[in-house]
Amino acid sequence: MLAAELIDPMIPTLKPTDTVGQALEWMQEHRIGQLVLMDLGEYRGILTEELLMDAVDEERPVGQIMRLFEQTYVQEDQHLLEVLGLVVQHQMEVVAVLNEERQCIGTISVNELLKQFTQELGVQEGGAILILSINERDYSMSEISRLIESNNVKIISSYFSSAAYGMPDRSRLTIKLNRRDITPVIATLERFGYQIEAAFANTPIESIDQDRLNSLLRYLNT
């Protein structure tokens, strides 16, 4: 999914002549702490609730208020993951989307972005989750997919977390599957030397050591 498809048409954009009071009212109405400022279609930055609250006069034009992220935006053809990386890096609540002519065509809200991201990952789909502890040099998604699909199970989504420097055996591959009963999948992967760090499913999984699973859950909760 591209940035242009993530634009939320319900979120207003500010123009320099809008007042501080109007901007704060819109933020309260949409339950958001940031709004994009545009001037004749050009992106001028983002105004935050904190900066607006510091203004003494609610009739003051927002064009006179300090703004942030003037050089931080996304292009309409950037991928969802690129957008997500940008907002996480800068801790933004909204991000402006620019077209090829560098005109601002809308706003992406982080809340909507996260909803779309979870849909892309298949979080709402029924099925088990596997976490493999893997050495990066042994990582082959095509091989892992072949082994999983040999049990008539499909991969809905996956993501790879690289190991910290000097710890090559700590990389993780998280896989979302389309079935809950994945005991045969685990047996196949372990038979080919893959280490299952954890598995989460509604159906009991006999080949997972419960102590190992409990230890992971404790680790994730710390």
Mean pLDDT by 10 residues, the chain (222 residues): 91 95 95 94 94 91 93 93 89 93 92 78 74 85 93 88 64 88 92 90 52 50 48
> At 151, which amino acid appears?
N
pLDDT at 208: 47
Q: Which domain holds residue 129?
A: 124-221
Instruction: Check residue 215 and give its pLDDT.
Output: 54
Cβ atoms within 10 Å, residue 199: 22
pLDDT at site 204: 47
Q: Are residues 86 and 183 in the same domain?
A: no
82 and 148 inside one domain: no
Q: What CATH number corresponds to the domain at position 170? A: 3.30.70.260
Say yes or no: 18 and 114 in one domain.
yes
Pairing relation of β-strands 74-75 and 94-98? Answer: parallel
